[in-house]
Amino acid sequence: MAIISTAGLARTFQTKRGPVEAVRGIDLTVRPGEILGFLGPNGAGKTTTLRMLTTLLAPTGGAATVAGCDLARDPGGVREKTGYVAQSGGVDPTISVREELVTQGRLYRLTKPQAAARAEELAGQLHLTELLDRKCAALSGGQRRRLDIAMGLMHRPEVLFLDEPTTGLDPGSRADLWDLVRRLRDEYGTTVFLTTHYLDEADALADRLVIVDKGTVVAEGTPSALKLTYAGSVDATLQDAFLAITGRGPAPQDQTPVAV
């Protein structure tokens, strides 16, 4: 039984310069407890897909269920069971770290003491304890990123959507986050749907990868399966496979124009 499944999920933006087909029909399924890496070049439609799956953006085509709730009919159910860390974050610079965390917990219907305790716990796990009483404006880029992640975890969601969670993190914090994601899955069975441009991260963390380009799924499978299929060997790098899939690699010899 899939915890996320989409069928022909699509979104076209109407702009003054005409329609932009950001997502053209995505079919995918995610099993409970899976860590899914959602990869693709800039502008492939990753963030747009995540915003649809988290109810922020109405699809212009297709359907999806998330955590047993239909996206169109029961957006409230989806919101209760999922957590979302947006690519560009979302904390108010004028509010303290603790207050943002507690209010976030309460928006997810935790009681005041529950929210306060959970804020302390997450601050410990994400190394924010000393920063709890600072204004969000007074955090470094990586510290703010860790706060964004903590905000998405306050209510222990069944499904967690992370949009480039480790962008801007130092190597130590990144390794810590990988551990945290694995622990969430191992201890709580959380399903994690994450995007990243770091292919070593995708390789190390994800059970399975879905690669999108120009709004459609162009490949999917375990990291080793993708390497074998697209780069010819399980020992190849994921980078080689990725470039071969998205067609941005060096062009094959016989297609190189003779005169430049």
Ligand X SMILES: Nc1ncnc2c1ncn2[C@@H]1O[C@H](COP(=O)(O)OP(=O)(O)OP(=O)(O)O)[C@@H](O)[C@H]1O
Q: Starting at the earlier edge strand, list the strands of the sheet with 35-39.
A: 82-85, 159-163, 191-195, 35-39, 208-213, 216-221
Tokens representing 13 are: 């933006």
**Residues between 61 and 90 that touch ligand X (CB under 6 A):** 87
Q: Which is nearer to ligand X, 173 or 246 (CB)?
A: 246
- Contacts with 159 (C-beta within 8 Å, 6 or more apart), sequence order: 3, 4, 66, 67, 81, 82, 83, 190, 191, 192, 193
Distance between CA 209 and CA 39 in Å, rounded?
A: 7
Distance between CA 156 and CA 218 in Å, rounded?
A: 32
Binds Mg ion by CB under 5 A, chosen from 6, 47, 190, 191 = 47
Binds ligand X by CB under 6 A, chosen from 22, 126, 210, 245 = 22
| Interface stretch with another protein, choices 16-24, 102-110, 182-190, 211-219 (CB under 8 A) | 102-110
User: How long a stretch of residues is the chain?
Assistant: 260
Binds another protein by CB under 8 A, chosen from 23, 35, 64, 86 = 86
Distance between CA 59 and CA 4 in Å, rounded?
A: 15
Q: Which is nearer to ligand X, 18 or 257 (CB)?
A: 18
Binds ligand X by CB under 6 A, chosen from 24, 46, 79, 98 = 46
Residue 88's binding partner among another protein, ligand X, Mg ion, none (Cβ under 5 to 8 angstroms by kind) is: another protein
Q: Is 256 in the site for another protein (CB under 8 A)?
A: no
Binding positions for another protein, rule: CB under 8 A: 51, 54-58, 76, 79-80, 82, 84, 86, 88-95, 99, 103-104, 106-109, 151
